[in-house]
Amino acid sequence: MLIKKSIDTKEKFRILTQDSQYDLACACGTNDSDRRHRSEDDKWIYPVSLGNGRTTFLFKTLLSNACSNNCKYCPIRASNDLRRCSLTPEETVKVFMEYYGAGKVSGLFLSSGVMGNPDNTMESINKTAIILRRKGFRGYVHLKVMPGASNAAIEQAVSLASAVSLNIETAGEKHFNKIASGKNYMDDIIRPLKYISKLTEKGSLFDRIKHTTQFIVGASDETDKEIVKYFWGLYKRLGLSRVYFSAYQRGLGTNDLPGENSSSSNSDILLREHRLYQADWLVRKYGFTENDILFEKDGNLSLKYDPKEYWAINHPAYFPVNINRTDKYELLRVPGLGQVTIDRILELRRNGIMIKSLQQLGKIGKRLKKAEQYVRFGY
């Protein structure tokens, strides 16, 4: 594999920030505030929520798009004909600090193709973070852990980062082997995921460090039910901070990839990604369990209805709920009622105000109107 050394730093960043767009395990979700956008000079800028409720914007790049792995879904796989280049840790720090000094970003997301082997790549990733920290940068740094990285390399990354991620890619070893030949699911993916969880568990030295992962949706022939089962386990057993989803789009992978031969359209897969983010939100924020997420006969989430509305349709005996008496967690089951609206309901009730219509809660838009058939008023 040839790495062109004649490319200047500006051009390398253009190539590598573009190639970094496929990894969403720092930010991207269900609304505009979660989504990436391009800067004026064509770099991807990513929003990420901090623990204090604030949002920071990340400068995101690969250190290299040269990769020794040949994952069938990945645009920078070894067998793909690309213009390859690499950045040094010093180059990366210099450009990031220029963006940071100009107030364009306040954090860094750093990933890479696998340069030779996982620990060689981790050495460069970690060195970049070391230089930044030695320069006095105390802001947000998200480091990608390479599949198959050693425990020592992982521990160093965790000690330097605000967040780390290693992508699980898909739901289980059977599907993983269809999309990622040359890697061992248990040793290269599950072992380091478990080790990161151990390092960052509550009460540990690094319990403030966020731990995230990403599923590639539709690259294999997994169902949404399988993905939900796995992300539920990642939250409950490994204590991950967040799970992300990236819709596979045809044309990126090899011809024998299941996703290339699927009957689903690209728009359907994008909607699947959106539905999975909605299901994830219900689990993380609304108290839904794995068993509360319902699926169509094919094992996938409904494309017609969002997961909360689909649950409501299948539980008619639960409704209507009394908006003046029902507790917060029962109200969270009502289609059309989100956290902000429910907070408003609870505030009115604390002030002794009886809610007689939805108009008291604000402008009746499409979302709030959906709640009408699921609530009743009065005492």
Residue range(s) in the chain whose domain bears CATH number 1.10.150 = 315-376
Helices (H), the chain: 9-19, 89-101, 118-134, 151-160, 173-179, 191-200, 224-238, 266-285, 307-313, 328-331, 339-350, 366-370
pLDDT value at residue 9: 87
pLDDT value at residue 95: 92
pLDDT value at residue 202: 94
pLDDT value at residue 252: 86
pLDDT value at residue 51: 47
Position 88, amino acid: T
Position 197, amino acid: S
Tokens of residue 330, six digits: 């029962």
Sign of dihedral through CA atoms 227, 333, 50, 238? negative
pLDDT value at residue 28: 46
Q: How far apart are CA 197 and CA 241, in angstroms?
A: 10
Q: How far apart are CA 126 and CA 110, in angstroms?
A: 10
In three-state secondary structure terms, 71 is: coil
pLDDT value at residue 85: 93
Which CATH homologous superfamily contains domain 9-261?
Aldolase class I (3.20.20.70)
Checking DSSP bridges between strand 242-247 and strand 210-217, what pairing results, if any? parallel
Q: How far apart are CA 110 and CA 129, in angstroms?
A: 9
**Which residues, other chains included, contact 138 with Cβ-Cβ below 8 Å and sequence gap of 6+?**
none
pLDDT value at residue 4: 45
The conformational region for residue 378 under phi > 0 = left, psi -120 to 50 = alpha, else beta, is: left
The topology (CATH level 3) of 315-376 is: DNA polymerase; domain 1 (1.10.150)
In three-state secondary structure terms, 41 is: coil
Residue range(s) in the chain whose domain bears CATH number 3.20.20.70 = 9-261
Unique residue bearing structure tokens 């997961």: 307
pLDDT value at residue 2: 47
Q: What is the pTM of this model?
A: 0.89
Asked if 12 contacts 95 with a C-beta cutoff of 8 angstroms, the reply is: no
Average pLDDT, 10 consecutive residues per value, the chain (379 residues): 64 82 55 49 50 65 94 91 93 93 89 96 98 95 97 98 96 96 94 98 96 95 98 97 91 92 89 96 96 97 97 97 94 95 94 93 86 90
